[in-house]
Amino acid sequence: MLELYNHDMSVCAAKVRFALAEKGLEYTSHMVNLLAREHKAPEYLALNPNGVVPTLVHDGHVIYESNIINEYLDEAFSQGSLMPGNPLGKARVRKWTQQLDTAIHAATSVVSTCIAFRDFLLAKSPEDLELHFRSQPGADPLKVERHNDNIRNGVKSKYFAHAVIRFDKLLSDMEAELAGGEPWLAGEAFSLADIGYASYIRRLEHLQMSPMWDERPYFADWYGRLQQRDSFKVAILDWDNDRYIDNMAKKGAREWPLVQQVIASGRTSNTQNQPS
């Protein structure tokens, strides 16, 4: 039996739902209310000491970290393989999935919170907001500092511009990879690399940042093909929460001129920093 501790708009939970759907695996979903801090409750921390979603439970065995869960699912259930069979292919998939952990997840959290999600937190009572700022069991102190700055300062947070520029680099890297002639991020076969990025790119779209791929035709084609998969609908579209999406659309449109400026200044300083 598979159980997923889940949240409708969590990019990491969506990544696992996408792998489950591709492999045709049934599971029981347990929704964890992040705004109500259910992920910081002792019972949940006993399952996942990092205090985040998703967590998978397979026949009583607990697995957390979305990239690890997806590789586990792919190995534990042989149907619809999502990893290449050879070591080089596996390395190519992990080149992409590892970046989600080292940079892209954090950048996503920054842009989402600064542009839109902070509104939900700032709407809390002063006592609840103070609890949110001070008590983050399981969380890395640096992540807490970043998150609190993003809530307090929105797009003026010191982390915002860096996150936007990191996405500009990511999309350039993906465009270059896909321009190589193969249809998917890690080659001829659809894999955990493509699955890994789907919900993150959808988040950029919700935040009205899709003009970032106007001049990236290979990337736009890849994302178009990804969206046509039945599993994209089952794992991502069917979980859309309008309350979050309406807020992201409104606030994202308002901040798009600033995002554009940040991208332009990031590219200029990058060019200036190039050795001549």
Ligand X SMILES: N[C@@H](CCC(=O)N[C@@H](CS)C(=O)NCC(=O)O)C(=O)O
Quick one: 10 or 191, whose CB is closer to ligand X?
Answer: 10
Three-state SS string across the chain, please?
Answer: CEEEEECCCCHHHHHHHHHHHHCCCCCEEEECCCCCCHHHCHHHHHHCCCCCCCEEEECCEEEECHHHHHHHHHHHCCCCCCCCCCHHHHHHHHHHHHHHHHHHHHHHHHHHHHHHHHHHHHCCCHHHHHHHHHCCCCCCHHHHHHHHHHHHHHHHCCCHHHHHHHHHHHHHHHHHHHCCCCCECCECCCCHHHHHHHHHHHHHHHCCCHHHHCCCHHHHHHHHHHHCCHHHHHHCHHHCCHHHHHHHHHHHHHHHHHHHHHHHHHHHHHHHCCCC
Quick one: 65 or 173, whose CB is closer to ligand X?
Answer: 65
65 binds ligand X (CB under 6 A): yes
Single-letter amino acid, residue 58: H
Q: How far is the CB of 166 from ligand X (least distance, A)?
A: 16
Quick one: 67 or 150, whose CB is closer to ligand X?
Answer: 67
The one segment of 61-69, 125-133, 164-172, 224-232 that binds ligand X by CB under 6 A = 61-69
The one segment of 64-72, 87-95, 211-219, 223-231 that binds ligand X by CB under 6 A = 64-72
Provide the mask over 98-127, with x wherever binding to ligand X is found by CB under 6 A and - wherever it is not. ---x---x----------------------
Quick one: 112 or 216, whose CB is closer to ligand X?
Answer: 112
Quick one: 67 or 231, whose CB is closer to ligand X?
Answer: 67
34 binds ligand X (CB under 6 A): yes
Torsion, CA 16, CA 61, CA 94, CA 259, rounded to 10: 40
Among 6, 10, 97, 191, binds ligand X (CB under 6 A): 10
Residue 79's DSSP bridge partners are none
52 binds ligand X (CB under 6 A): yes
Consecutive H or E run containing 21: helix 11-22
Quick one: 185 or 263, whose CB is closer to ligand X?
Answer: 185
Q: How far is the CB of 238 from ligand X (least distance, A)?
A: 17
Q: How far is the CB of 165 from ligand X (least distance, A)?
A: 21
Q: How far is the CB of 221 from ligand X (least distance, A)?
A: 27
Quick one: 39 or 229, whose CB is closer to ligand X?
Answer: 39
Size of site (CB under 6 A) for ligand X? 13
Contact residues toward ligand X (CB under 6 A) are: 10-12, 34, 39, 52-54, 65-67, 101, 105
